[in-house]
Amino acid sequence: MNSSTATNKKTKNYTSIRTQYSISIILLVLIISILIDLCVYSGLSGILDTGISNNLNLTARNEGMKIDQNMYHIEDSVDSIASFIENYTDDFSKLQDRTFRVKMLSEIENVFTSSAAARKSVVSDYVFFNPDLLDGKEDGFLYLKNTNGEMIKTSLTNINYYAEDDDEHVGWYYIPKANRYPTWLTPYLNKNFNILMVSYIVPVFKDDTFIGVVGMDMDFRELIYNVGTLITEKGTRSYITTVDSKSHYFINDEGNVDTFNDEELIYIRNHELRKNKSSGKEIIEYKYDNIHLVMAFVTLENSMKLVVYNRYDALYSERSKILIYIVIISIILGLLFVAISVYSTQKIVNPLQSLTKAAIQIGSGNFDITLPESNIKEIKILTDALKGTNAQLKKYARNMESLAFRDEMTKVKNKTSYTFAVDNIDEQIESGDENLEFAVLMCDLNLLKPINDKYGHEAGDVALKRCAATICDVYQHSPVYRVGGDEFVVILTGNEYRNRRELEKNLDRKIYQLNLDALQPYEAISIAHGMAVYNKDTDKSYRNVFDRADAAMYQNKSNYHKELGIKPR
C-alpha cells in the first residue's frame, strides 16, 4: 500500500499540469530569449555593418573630392590655354612667324604660370610647339617650381635627342599627340627633372594639323604624401592604386613613396567591385601581410583610385561587446520572465508576446512602437526598461543623424548631407525624370578673411552664423547646405523654385535690413550669390547647374570687390 501510494505520488507529480506548464513556459522563455538575442544582434550588426560601410565610403568620396578639386583646377587651366592657342591660331602657318608666337605666348605665359604656382602639387607647366612646323626648332615655354615654390623658367627639352617610345623623357609629348585627346599620364619618373609625377596634357590641333601640347605636371610624391597622411580617429588610412588596381602606391615608414602588387592581396569578399568606378555602398574584405582589412574606394579624375582602409578588428570590435551585452541582458530578462511565469502564467503570456514583437522591431531599427501596459509590477518594470532603451536608441539614432548631416556651427545641413542630395538629383536626371525642376543658389560670405584677421575668428563665426541665418530666413522651405568655409548652397524646388527671382531680391533686401541693425562692424555682412536653373535638354548632371551658379556667384563677388577697390580672391 505504501509502495502504491508512493507510485501514485510520483505519477501525480510527474503528470502535474502546473509542472508541465511551468516547463513549457521555461522552454518558451528560453526560446524567446534566444530569438530576441538573434534578432537584436542581427539588427544591431546590420546597423553596424551599414555604418562602417557608409563611413568608409563617405571618407573615400570626401577625400576623393578634395583631390579631384585640385585636378579640376589643373584641367581648367590647361584646357583654357589650349583652347586659346587653337582659337588664336586661325592659320597654323603663322606659327612660323616668331613675332606671332612671341605675341601669343606673352598673352598666356604669366596667366598660365601663375595658375600653376597657386597649386601646391604642381611642379611645372609648359607650352611646346610642334618642331615640324618650325623647321625643327623648339619654341614655347617651360617653368619648373623650385624649393621655395617659385616658378623658374627653364630651357625646353630637345625631343630630337630621344626616341618616341622613351616615355620617361618625351612621353609627355608623344603620348597625347598619338591619343589626339586630353590625357592624364599614369605615374612615371620624368628623367628630365628626376621627379616622379603625373601629368595632364592637351594636344592642340588646328584643321587636323598638330600644333603642339599644353600641360601641367603634378608631383606624385606630394600627392601620395597627402593621401598617406589621412588618419581618422579610428585609424582609417588611405593609398592610391592604378586604374587596373594592380599597383598600389603608399608612404612607407621612412616617408618615401613605395609600392606593392595586387598579387600580394588575398581577397575575401566583394573583390569583383574593383572593376567598378567606386565601391558604392559596399566594402571589400581582404588580407595583406596576413592582416584582415576592409576597404572602400573611388575613382579619381585621372582614373587612378583612392582607397581608404582599416583593420577589420578595429572596426568590428563593437560587435563582440554588443554580443556580451545582449547575453547578459537576455539572462537577466530570462530569469525575470521565468520567475513571473511561475506565479502568473496566464497574465504574462500576452504581454510577453507583445514585448517579443517590440524587441524584434527595435532590433530591426524600428523605434516607433507601442509597448504593452501591465498591472503586474515586474512586467511594468520590464516594459518601462524597454521603453527607456527604445527612447535612448531612438535619441541616439537621431543624434547620430544630426551629427552626420548637420553643420555644428551654423546648424544648416553639412557637406555630407549635400553629397547625398547631389547623388539623389543625379539619379533623377539619369532616370530621365520629366517632372524634375530645381535651381541652385550659390552663396559666399564676402570678406570673411579680413574679418578673421581684424576682429578674430570668433567674430568670423558670428558673421558666418548671421550669413547662414539670413539665407535660411529667406529660403524657409528649401534645404541650405554649408559646403565650404564661407560657402553655402541652396537647392530650390516647389514654390520657392517658382518664386526664385523674387526670393533672390528678398535676400539682398534682408541683408540690407540686417546690416542696419548691426551693432558691430563684423555683424554687417555681405553675401555674394549666383543662381542657375536646371535645363533638362542640356544639363547632364547636377554639376552642370552648379558650375553655372558658381560662375554667377563669382561674377557677383568680383563686382562687389571692384566696387570696394580690392582684388577678388
Tell me the pLDDT tens digit for each residue of 239-251: 899 888 788 888 7
Model confidence at 45: pLDDT above 80 = no
Rounded Cα–Cα distance for residues 410 and 445 (Å): 13
Spell out the SS3 assignment of 71-105. Answer: HHHHHHHHHHHHHHHHHHCCCHHHHHCHHHHHHHH
227: cell is: 593621401
Average pLDDT over residues 214-220: 94
Rounded Cα–Cα distance for residues 328 and 330 (Å): 5
**17-31, 347-361, 471-485, 531-545: least confident range:** 347-361
Average pLDDT over residues 533-539: 94
pLDDT class for 84, splitting at 50, 70, 90?
very high
Q: What is the distance between the terminal CA atoms of the chain, rounded to a whole angstrom?
A: 110
Cβ neighbours of 228 (radius 10 Å): 19
Q: What is the pLDDT, as a whole number, of residue 347?
A: 59
Say which residue, 112 or 563, is predicted with more confidence: 112
Residues 6+ apart with CB under 8 A from 35: 356, 360
Q: What is the pLDDT, as a whole number, of residue 508?
A: 92
pLDDT class for 569, splitting at 50, 70, 90?
low
Model confidence at 541: pLDDT above 90 = yes
Model confidence at 365: pLDDT above 70 = no
Model confidence at 566: pLDDT above 60 = yes
Model confidence at 289: pLDDT above 80 = yes
Q: What angle do CA 290, 233, 393 make, to 5 degrees?
A: 105
Element (H, E) at 257: strand 257-261
Rounded Cα–Cα distance for residues 130 and 471 (Å): 53
Answer whether 525's CB lies under 8 Å from 468's CB.
no
Q: What is the pLDDT, as a whole number, of residue 96?
A: 86
pLDDT class for 1, splitting at 50, 70, 90?
very low
pTM value? Answer: 0.52
Q: What value does the mean pLDDT of the chain take?
A: 85
Model confidence at 5: pLDDT above 50 = no
Residues 6+ apart with CB under 8 A from 407: 413, 414, 468, 482
Average pLDDT over residues 412-430: 94
Q: What is the pLDDT, as a whole number, of residue 95?
A: 85
Model confidence at 106: pLDDT above 70 = yes
**15-19, 320-324, 349-353: least confident range:** 15-19
Say which residue, 2 or 347, is predicted with more confidence: 347
Rounded Cα–Cα distance for residues 491 and 480 (Å): 7
Residues 6+ apart with CB under 8 A from 171: 185, 188
102: cell is: 612671341
pLDDT class for 166, splitting at 50, 70, 90?
very high
Share of the chain above pLDDT 70, in %: 83
Q: What is the pLDDT, as a whole number, of residue 10?
A: 46
Say which residue, 360 or 77, is predicted with more confidence: 77
Q: What is the CA radius of gyration of the chain?
A: 33
302: cell is: 585621372
Average pLDDT over residues 67-89: 93
Average pLDDT over residues 464-470: 94
Q: What is the pLDDT, as a whole number, of residue 354?
A: 67
pLDDT class for 262, splitting at 50, 70, 90?
confident
Q: What is the pLDDT, as a whole number, of residue 235?
A: 76
87: cell is: 582659337
Q: What is the pLDDT, as a whole number, of residue 9?
A: 45
Rounded Cα–Cα distance for residues 513 and 515 (Å): 5
Model confidence at 444: pLDDT above 90 = yes
Model confidence at 539: pLDDT above 90 = yes
